[in-house]
Each structure stands twice: as structure tokens, then as C-alpha cells.
């Protein structure tokens, strides 16, 4: 069963985020706490949305998908960015990942989104094989750019004053 996450799912979502981070060899980077996740998913202005995959028989949480809207200046439309797709090891190959992705694709269609995009680590061949089996187009010509920590602070320190603070997001 695929369903929308509820605030009661926060501890399980946080646990799966840590499991995903361990699988991706970056456990120390998964610092989001339960209150941060609660605010991000269920606060006054949600930053993201989540689906939960449950075993129909036991109700056990088998995986999750976390996404947020994005915008393309090229198409002039919104799209979906999948931040996390995770299925617990014991449930892989049982259709949960495909069901989560299909539910998100249906959300895209329902909302009129033109694009459904996400990143995958170059070494994660099982995920890449799974995605390509679904017809995903891999965009090798793009590189992910990231500013964080000291580099982000240094660039921010050079920012000019914003003339219209309403445009500051």
C-alpha cells in the first residue's frame, strides 16, 4: 500500500533517512532531526511531501519517497524533484520502489507537472539499472553543483543588498 505520510511517520522517516545515508556512505551528513522533518513536511508552509510504502499484511513500513516541486524556465511549468527514494533491504525486489515511483508519476500528471527528476549516485548500479528499466533518461551531460559550509558563507558575504526583499524568497 502507498499512502501519504502523516506526522506519526516522522520517526520512521528519520530512521529510513539514516538507513539511506548509510547505504550511500554518507551517514554523517544525515543530520535532520525529527522536529526539522515535522516542520518541513507538515508545517505551515511545507517544503516537501512524502509517501510511505507499507506491507499490506503487517502494516510494516517498507520504504518512502520524499519530493518537492520545482520550476523550469524552459517549459514554464512546475515539475517534481525526488529527493529520496528508499526501500528497506528486505523489501527490495517486491515492487515497493516501482509503486512509489508510479504514485509520484501519477501525482505529476494530476498536477500538470512536465518533469519528474532526481539524482542517482554514479556508483549505484542497482538503482541505475532499476531506473533505466522504467524508461528513465539519464542526463550524463549535467553536473550537480553545490555550495555549503564555508564556501556558501563566503559567497553570501559578497552579496549586494537586495532592492526588493519580497523577491528574496
Residue in 64, 86, 113, 131 annotated catalytic: 131
Distance CA(91)–CA(3), nearest Å, equals 17
Distance CA(13)–CA(101), nearest Å, equals 17
| Cβ neighbours of residue 86 closer than 8 Å, sequence gap 6 or more | 16, 17, 19, 20, 23, 63, 64, 65
Distance CA(105)–CA(116), nearest Å, equals 7
Burial group, residue 39, by CB count within 10 angstroms (0-12, 13-18, 19+): middle
Distance CA(79)–CA(68), nearest Å, equals 9
Q: Which residue has the cell 528574496?
A: 168
Active site residue 131: yes
Q: Which residues are catalytic?
A: 131
Amino acid at each position: 500500500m502507498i499512502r501519504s505520510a502523516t506526522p506519526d511517520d516522522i520517526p520512521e522517516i528519520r530512521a529510513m533517512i539514516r538507513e539511506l545515508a548509510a547505504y550511500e556512505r554518507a551517514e554523517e551528513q544525515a543530520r535532520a532531526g525529527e522536529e526539522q522533518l515535522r516542520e518541513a513536511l507538515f508545517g505551515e508552509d511545507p517544503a516537501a511531501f512524502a509517501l510511505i510504502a507499507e506491507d499490506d499484511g503487517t502494516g510494516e513500513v517498507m520504504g518512502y519517497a520524499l519530493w518537492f516541486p520545482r520550476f523550469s524556465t524552459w517549459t514554464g511549468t512546475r515539475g517534481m524533484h525526488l529527493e529520496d527514494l528508499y526501500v528497506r533491504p528486505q523489501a527490495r525486489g517486491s515492487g515497493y520502489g516501482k509503486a512509489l515511483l508510479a504514485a509520484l508519476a501519477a501525482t505529476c500528471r494530476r498536477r500538470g507537472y512536465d518533469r519528474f527528476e532526481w539524482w542517482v549516485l554514479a556508483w549505484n548500479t542497482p538503482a541505475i539499472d532499476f531506473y533505466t528499466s522504467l524508461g528513465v533518461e539519464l542526463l550524463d551531460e549535467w553536473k550537480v553543483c553545490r555550495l555549503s559550509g564555508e564556501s556558501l558563507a563566503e559567497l553570501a558575504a559578497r552579496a549586494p543588498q537586495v532592492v526588493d526583499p519580497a523577491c528574496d524568497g
